[in-house]
């Protein structure tokens, strides 16, 4: 499966079966974090972030490129300054890839195939702070821009400037 197919399948799964009121693919939130799939739970307003991995190299690169993010996830369980981190974090991948990697303690694991999506290991609750209004509005604004313009508004304006040159 291609990454975008996995993301679409995960988004559909979370909308249909897990009581999540908002599910967005390829979402930037709290400035430095990009989520392949971001879901917000109905009653608690807890954030679930899912990173899709499609190869061993892709999995290893994630820790090199976003070392700070994964370090913060690894130490945030119960921390007071965890307001800008997800409440739950998952890696999603095929069963074959899951056999080759070690999933960090702060993460859950979702196994994806053409036929199904299964939560193999439930993610631990990293903290109990629900998403605040400002980051929620930023997520929704960015989503609205992408739906209407095909990209974030700033990217759209920059592309227009480049086209005029």
- From first to last of its 165 residues, the chain has per-residue pLDDT tens of 888 889 889 988 888 876 777 888 887 766 556 788 989 988 899 999 999 999 999 888 877 665 567 777 777 655 555 557 889 999 999 999 999 999 999 999 999 999 899 999 999 998 888 888 887 887 788 778 877 887 777 778 888 888 887
Residues 86 and 161 in one domain: no
Q: Look up the domain containing 145 and give its range.
A: 132-165
Residues 71 and 55 in one domain: yes
CA dihedral 31, 34, 60, 13 (to 10 degrees): 150
- Cβ count within 10 A of residue 79: 13
Q: Computed from CA positions of residues 113, 55, 5, 84, in that sequence, does the dihedral angle turn out positive or negative?
A: positive
- What's the angle, vertex CA 66, arms to CA 110 and CA 44, rounded to 5? 50
Residues 80 and 160 in one domain: no
Number of domains in the chain: 2
Identify the CA nearest to 32 among candidates 82, 66, 60: 66
Residues 125 and 157 in one domain: no
Residues 66 and 7 in one domain: yes
Residues 124 and 98 in one domain: yes
Residues 125 and 136 in one domain: no
């Amino acid at each position: 499966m291609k990454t975008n197919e996995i993301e679409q399948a995960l988004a559909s799964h979370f909308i249909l079966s897990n009581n999540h009121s908002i599910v967005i693919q390829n979402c930037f939130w709290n400035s430095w974090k990009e989520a392949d799939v971001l879901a917000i739970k109905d009653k608690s307003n807890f954030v679930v972030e899912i990173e899709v991995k499609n190869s061993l190299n892709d999995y290893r690169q994630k820790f090199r490129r976003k070392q700070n993010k994964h370090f913060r996830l690894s130490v945030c369980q119960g921390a007071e300054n965890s307001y800008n981190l997800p409440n739950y974090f998952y890696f999603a991948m095929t069963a074959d890839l899951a056999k080759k990697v070690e999933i960090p303690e702060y993460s859950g694991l979702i196994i994806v195939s053409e036929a199904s999506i299964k939560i193999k290991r439930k993610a631990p609750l990293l903290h109990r702070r629900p998403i605040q209004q400002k980051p929620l509005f930023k997520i929704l604004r960015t989503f609205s821009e992408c739906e209407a313009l095909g990209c974030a508004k700033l990217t759209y304006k920059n592309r227009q400037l480049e086209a005029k040159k």
